[in-house]
Structure 1
Amino acid sequence: MSEVCRRYPVSRRRLLQGTAAVTAAAALGRFGTTRAQECSKLTAWGVVSFTEEGDAKVAEQMQAWGEANGIEVEYSALPGSDYSTRLATAVEAGSVPDVVMMLQDLTLFYADQDRLVDLTDVYDGLKTLGGGMYEKLLPHVQSDGRVFSIPMQSDVSVMYARLDLIEEVTGAREAPATLDELETVATEINDPPGLFGIGLTVGRTPDAHGQIEQMIFAHGGTLVDEAGAPAIDNAGTIAALEQMKRWWDNQLIPQNSPSWDDAGNNTAYQSGQVAVAFNPASIFAYLEENDPELLADTTQAQFPAGPAGVFPAVGTWSWSIFSSSPCVDAAKQMITEIMQPEKLQELYEEVGGRWYPVYRDLAQAPFWQERPFFSEFPTIIDNARETWYPAEGTPELITQLSAVYQKLILPDMLQQVLINNVAPAEAAAAAQSQMEQAFAEAAG
């Protein structure tokens, strides 16, 4: 999907209609005289969703609340590719919006700078709705016991698998449950150059970072130790590199994978080039709209287990309020309104499943029940492991790990092994040194 900026300013007519619907006394009673005078307009930023309809739904819900309270709301859906940079620029310029969608662990980065409003009261009012929020999302938005952002979706990465191809070689329409099973099945399916068994992303991309991280965890490795120091040079990392090297040498991975961007694995699966790929639910949304035949032969399953177990990656996108906002009370009310379970479910359906619920009971909604492809998502979320395991996810550590992510140290490590034939142990040692340098630079 091409990324474009979408702005949804409320029209004057709609604003006047909404203002007329609420008396001035009611507005003042909710926010107080000073707050109402200060807050005539709320601005909000988010990241573009998979569909224009989803972006429009976010704006519609925010603006409906604004109309009911006599406050103009402007929502901008911005490209994800440079969202973090654009937000940082706005922060430095002092022109940050009131409400901001935070990606993954950005919340902790800005909370550490004392730039965000404590939203613990909002979270406490929401956390038990809809069967309760998934507890696994909390570490991404909580610091020192306080919640600084409200999770609005569960960001789940899964394995996509071609059930028809698997059935041809195993007799069963079931995704491989372990990495060893995956390797065996992929070897039997493999028929290069037209069809490859495993669509592993090898390029210098965020997708590759996430997939390598899951491979390391599955083999018992970690990125840091209990104290939060770099510790990627371990037996689990080396074992993961050895297995991926074997896949590469046996031509189970497309030979153009090192040149893939973050859309490369999507394209490879959607075009029938690979039997398995790892990605968030955007592949499902594409297939549902464009290729129902391939969708019928596709399953979404959790990342296969390694010798150490299953440790899928889960994050969240969430709503924060910057402390510079003159509209803190109003912004809290708006977030509370759009975070009601029924409103979130409306949004999820417009996005086509790309955003998964944060409330447990929403998984029972007809939209999800009619799509068995999502049946394993609750289990995937509950089994998730944070990037900073086994350390405590402090803002400083998360900032340091973000630097490793931005520098693409993990994809570089894998490319050294696959393309340059560097020994896995040597590549892990080099990545250790690079991580130590990145941590030192991030710490200042």
Structure 2
Amino acid sequence: MANGKVTRRRFLETSAASAAFVAAPFVRGAHAAGSLSVAFWDHWVPGANKATEEVARAWAEKEKVDLKMDFITSQGNKNLLTIAAEAQAKSGHDIFAFPTWYVHEHAGQLEAVDDIMPELIRQNGNVNGTVDYLAKVKGRWMAVPSTPGSQIKGPCSRIDLMKQHAGIDVVAMYPAGQPPKAENWNMDTFLKAAEACHKAGVPFGIGLGQTTDSVDTIGAFFQSFGAELVDKDGKITVKSDAVRQTMEYLRKLAAFLPPDAPAWDDASNNKWLVSGRGALVCNPPSAWAVAKRDAPDIARQCWTHGMPAGPKGRFAPYLPYLWGIWSFSRNKSAAKSLLVALSTHEAIAKMVEVSAGYDLPAWEKLTTLKTWAEAEPPRGTLYHYPNPHNHQTLSIAAAPAPPNIANQIYNQAVMTKMVARNLGGERLEATLAWAENEVEGFMRG
């Protein structure tokens, strides 16, 4: 008799095997509340899955549910292959951890969670606007924000290099335990700092590649200038003054970045920080954590803080995961009960602690957990990571375009390609014409 025993089945290695797996018949357990199968995201941080396992196991034992958990990696898009296979087979896990855009893509096959979100909001505070944009479809909540995997990709600066070469004291600007004093931390200041550090041989490590770290960061710059490729009503706005202003700024900034920035992937900024060659990267605390493990002298000089403000405000790149319940689930009541259990203050605090501060709850009342305040070295280095003073807007690249269009702009890395093309010598108007044609193609599709 299982009594809530958790199994750790790994993702099957081929899509054909996946389809066979998800098409397998549902077998109800012997427990009073039946069975439940959950597909969680397999965490990058070693050991971070443990917190989710412990919370879910405790819930299963209390509720007498036969719980089975899989932790499915996003490497090689294995989680996305599994989502596609289950959607096609209309069978598989009851709950799935959906990356970013996939709630909207599969909304027709998800169970609404309007009945549990109001109480979670009452307990934990409102969610940020990006979660509202991604988890709601036609005004209905179709997913619950997941703490594991959700992250801000804000600046992590070298205290010593920024002070020495740019004359900026990032600790004084973002003091631990206190509100930011960042009135002068704007696009002009950022550009001057990037130029100074470049001249000193320690350039800012911001990618212009086609993977999420690059897209997220450049997307935040676009939003800081109020630049949209497509507006919220679906109108193409590529050739706007705001987009031109953004592109002119980013061309100046790109000249001070590493020459291979257009080829960077999501590992590049981590390597750049650890190498000691860079004064700033934009990343969740994973870059600092790697430095803490592999280059402790560098880690002691790292400070995570907010983005520079643009003409339209201060926007930080944010990338959430969302838990959704398939409409073909045979135990929707248990699925909703588990999502409530995973969204308590106690459960979230455990997830944040075990992930060493990487995981980021979307709820406004959960941005001051002790893990971020106590992280070291240096002590307080992660205090401003979760935006505890709400001084910047958490955003996602390509918003506020309708999500079905924004998804394509994001995944095709249109914004970083625009910067790379312009940096490579293409005239701005030609770049804008190319981007407009790309977006028109998405609209037709």
Indicate whether the TM-score tops 0.5: yes
- Measure the CA separation in 2 of the matches of 1:138 and 1:390: 11
CA displacement at 1:98 relative to structure 2: 0.2
Per the alignment, residue 252 of structure 2 pairs with: 246
Alignment partner of 1:378 is 2:384: no
Per the alignment, residue 64 of structure 2 pairs with: 70
Alignment partner of 1:327 is 2:331: yes
Distance 1:362 1:219, change over 3 A: closer
CA displacement at 1:207 relative to structure 2: 2.1
SS at match of 1:220: coil
* 8 Å CA contact 2:219, 2:396 repeated in 1: no
CA displacement at 1:224 relative to structure 2: 1.3
Which stretch shows the higher mean deviation, 130-139 or 118-127?
130-139
CA displacement at 1:290 relative to structure 2: 3.9
* 8 Å CA contact 1:155, 1:356 repeated in 2: yes
SS at match of 2:83: helix
Alignment partner of 1:55 is 2:49: yes
Alignment partner of 1:201 is 2:215: no
Q: 2:187 aligns with which of 170, 173, 179?
A: 179
Q: 2:278 aligns with which of 274, 277, 280?
A: 274
Alignment partner of 1:413 is 2:407: no
Q: Which runs of 5+ in 2 are unaligned?
A: 7-27, 174-183
Taking structure 2 as the reference length, the TM-score comes to 0.82
Distance 1:70 1:96, change over 3 A: same
Per the alignment, residue 181 of structure 2 pairs with: none
SS at match of 1:60: helix
Which stretch shows the higher mean deviation, 338-347 or 286-295?
286-295
Per-residue CA deviations over 1:370-421 (Å, capped at 9, x if unaligned) read 2433433234585234545556xxxxx21221122222222222221122x0
Alignment partner of 1:108 is 2:116: no
* 8 Å CA contact 2:288, 2:299 repeated in 1: yes
* 8 Å CA contact 1:197, 1:276 repeated in 2: yes
Question: Residues 356-435 of structure 1: matches in 2 within 5 Å?
Answer: 356-371=360-375, 372-376=380-384, 377-379=387-389, 383-385=393-395, 387=397, 389=399, 397-419=402-424, 421-435=425-439
* 8 Å CA contact 2:40, 2:71 repeated in 1: yes
SS at match of 1:378: coil
SS at match of 2:47: helix
CA displacement at 1:296 relative to structure 2: 2.6
* 8 Å CA contact 2:33, 2:65 repeated in 1: yes
Q: 1:286 aligns with which of 267, 284, 290?
A: 290
* 8 Å CA contact 1:413, 1:427 repeated in 2: yes
Q: What is the number of residues matched between the two proteins? A: 402
CA displacement at 1:149 relative to structure 2: 0.9
* 8 Å CA contact 1:196, 1:254 repeated in 2: no
- Measure the CA separation in 2 of the matches of 1:375 and 1:301: 8
Distance 1:386 1:379, change over 3 A: farther
CA displacement at 1:314 relative to structure 2: 2.5
CA displacement at 1:325 relative to structure 2: 0.5
CA displacement at 1:241 relative to structure 2: 2.3
Distance 1:402 1:77, change over 3 A: same
Alignment partner of 1:257 is 2:261: yes
Amino acid in structure 1 at the alignment position of 2:55: Q
Q: 1:89 aligns with which of 78, 85, 89?
A: 85
- Measure the CA separation in 1 of the matches of 2:435 and 2:52: 41
- Measure the CA separation in 1 of the matches of 2:408 and 2:36: 32
Per the alignment, residue 160 of structure 1 pairs with: 156
Distance 1:266 1:439, change over 3 A: farther
Distance 1:172 1:212, change over 3 A: closer
Amino acid in structure 1 at the alignment position of 2:237: A
- Measure the CA separation in 1 of the matches of 2:414 and 2:168: 38
Amino acid in structure 2 at the alignment position of 1:239: Q
Distance 1:379 1:235, change over 3 A: farther
More helix by share: 1
- Measure the CA separation in 1 of the matches of 2:65 and 2:400: 45
CA displacement at 1:363 relative to structure 2: 3.0
Distance 1:380 1:181, change over 3 A: same
* 8 Å CA contact 1:156, 1:381 repeated in 2: no
Per-residue CA deviations over 1:165-210 (Å, capped at 9, x if unaligned) read 1111354422671222122122222247xx3322120222222222
Alignment partner of 1:353 is 2:363: no
Distance 1:80 1:216, change over 3 A: same
Q: Which runs of 5+ in 1 are unaligned?
A: 1-11, 18-33, 392-396
Per-residue CA deviations over 1:194-237 (Å, capped at 9, x if unaligned) read x3322120222222222222222222311212422232222222
Distance 1:373 1:223, change over 3 A: farther
SS at match of 2:85: helix
Per the alignment, residue 22 of structure 1 pairs with: none
Per the alignment, residue 236 of structure 2 pairs with: 230
- Measure the CA separation in 2 of the matches of 1:399 and 1:38: 41
- Measure the CA separation in 2 of the matches of 1:140 and 1:121: 18
Distance 1:37 1:323, change over 3 A: farther
- Measure the CA separation in 2 of the matches of 1:260 and 1:169: 25
Taking structure 1 as the reference length, the TM-score comes to 0.82
